Amino acid sequence: MADHTDTPGAQAPGTAASAGHGPIDLRAEFRDSGISRVLEELDEELLGLRPVKQRIREIAALLLVEKLRRTRGLAAEPPTLHMSFTGNPGTGKTTVAMRMASILHSLGFVRKGHLVSVTRDDLVGQYIGHTAPKTKEVLKKAMGGVLFIDEAYYLYRPENERDYGQEAIEILLQVMENQREDLVVILAGYADRMDRFFTTNPGFRSRVAHHIDFPDYSDEELLQIGEIMLKKQNYRLTDEARAALARYIPARRGQSHFANARSIRNALDRARLRQANRLFEQSDRPVSDADLVEIHAPDILASRVFDQAREADGEVDHG
C-alpha cells in the first residue's frame, strides 16, 4: 500500500495537486493514494457486504476530495471522521475498521494507521481513580490511528450507581472533539443497543459522522466463506461434506449465540478436530495426502446441531 505522508494534511509527492492549481485527475489521485488497493484487499477478505463496501468507497472518495481541498487551501476545518458500525457478531466490523485505518493513513488523516481494538474492560476500572488512567493509556496507544470500541453500549450502565463508565465516556468525548485530527474512534455493536446508547449519550451522536450497518450473511455466502476458510488452511470439503455444511448453516442460524462467519469458523475448527481423530481411528492403513486435506460429511454431521434429541441444548458458541 502506498504511504505518501505521515503528517495530517501533508501533500503527497508526485500528485496532480503538487503541480499547482490546474485541473486534477481524480482517478489518478485515487489510484496513487493507495485507496484502490485497500478496497481490493477488502473485497478479497470479505465476501458480500455490498452496502458496507459501497459506504466505505463513498467515505474514501470524500476523504480524497477533502485531502485535495487541503492541498489547495480550500478546507476550513478538519472533518469529523468518527464512525459507528452496527450489526450482529461475525459480520466483518473489525476487518472493515482495519481497512478504514489504512485508508485514513494513506490520505494523511492519521499519522500511523494502526487499529487498537478494546471493550469496556479495557477502559473502565473497578474502583475510584482507576478508570481515568486506564482510559488515557488506551487513548495514548491509539493516537495516530483508529480506536475501535466493540459493544460500546456497555460503557454506560445507569442501573449501577457505582459504575465508573461515565468517567470513561467523558474522557472519550473530550478527546474525540479536541484531538480529532490525530484519532478516529469507531463505536461498534448491535444496532438496537447502539441506538439506545446514542439516545442516552447525545454527545457521542453529535460527534459520529458516519453510521454503517453490517447485514447478516446469507446461507449461500456463509457456505462460500466456509470453503474459503478451509482453502486458506489447505483443506477442502468433499461433495457430501459441502452438502452437510449447507444443511448445518440454517440449523445453526436458528440456535442461540449465532455469530455469522465466526460461527462457521468455529464449526469448521470442530470438523477438523473430528477429521484428525477419524484418521487416527483408521491408523491401521497408511494416510494419503487426500486423507489429510479432505473434510468428510461425518466430520460435519457429528455436530450436536444435528442431534434432535439434544436440540434444546444446542451448540454453545459464544465466539
Question: Three-state SS for 26?
Answer: helix
Round the average pLDDT of the chain to a whole number and report it.
86
Provide the pLDDT confidence category of residue 317 given band limits of 50, 70 and 90: low
CATH 1.10.8.60 spans which residues of the chain?
219-310
- Enumerate the CATH 3.40.50.300 domain ranges in the chain, comma separated: 16-214
Identify the CATH number of the domain defined by range 219-310. Answer: 1.10.8.60
> 247: how many CB neighbours lie within 10 A of its CB?
15
Would you say 275 and 285 are in contact if contact means Cβ atoms under 8 Å apart? no
Residues facing residue 212 across a β-bridge: 85
194-240 pLDDT tens trace: 999 999 888 999 999 999 999 999 999 999 999 999 999 999 999 99
Asked if pLDDT for residue 286 goes beyond 60, the answer is: yes
**Cβ distance 149 to 158 under 8 Å?**
no
Indicate the fold that domain 16-214 takes in CATH: Rossmann fold (3.40.50)
83-87 and 210-214 strand pairing: parallel
Q: For residue 214, give the C-alpha cell.
A: 453490517
Residue 19 predicted with pLDDT over 60: no
Segment (H or E) for 60: helix 50-71
End-to-end, the C-alpha distance of the chain in Å comes to: 31
Does the structure show a pLDDT above 60 at 311?
no
